[in-house]
Amino acid sequence: MQLIGSLTSPFVRKVRIVAAEKFIEYELVIDTPWSEDTRVPEFNPLGKVPVWIMEDGKTLFDSRVIVEYLEHVSPVGHLLPKDARPRIAVKRWEALADGVCDAAALVFVERKRAADKQDPEWVKRQMAKIAAGLNMMSDDLGNQNWCTGEFFCLADVAVGCALGYLEFRFPEIDWRRQHSNLSELFDRMMQRPAFKETVPVA
Closest to ligand GSH by CB, 16 or 48: 48
C-alpha to C-alpha distance for 65 and 17, rounded to whole angstroms: 15
Closest to ligand GSH by CB, 63 or 148: 63
For ligand GSH, the nearest residue by Cβ is 62
Rg over alpha carbons for the chain, rounded to the nearest Å, is 17
Residues 6+ apart with CB under 8 A from 184: none
* Interface contacts to ligand GSH, rule CB under 6 A: 9, 11, 33, 47-50, 62-64, 98, 105
C-alpha to C-alpha distance for 94 and 96, rounded to whole angstroms: 5
| Cβ at position 9, least distance to ligand GSH in Å | 4
Closest to ligand GSH by CB, 44 or 148: 44
Which contiguous run of DSSP H or E holds residue 65? Answer: helix 63-73
| Cβ at position 41, least distance to ligand GSH in Å | 9
Return the beta strands (E) in the chain as ranges.
Answer: 2-5, 27-30, 51-53, 59-60
- Picking from 22, 1, 38, the residue whose alpha carbon sits closest to that of residue 9 is 38
C-alpha to C-alpha distance for 142 and 92, rounded to whole angstroms: 16
Phi, psi of 105, deg, nearest 5: -65, -35
Residues 6+ apart with CB under 8 A from 155: 89, 90, 93, 94, 97, 146, 147, 148
Closest to ligand GSH by CB, 11 or 186: 11
Closest to ligand GSH by CB, 110 or 184: 110
| Cβ at position 168, least distance to ligand GSH in Å | 11
Closest to ligand GSH by CB, 14 or 22: 14
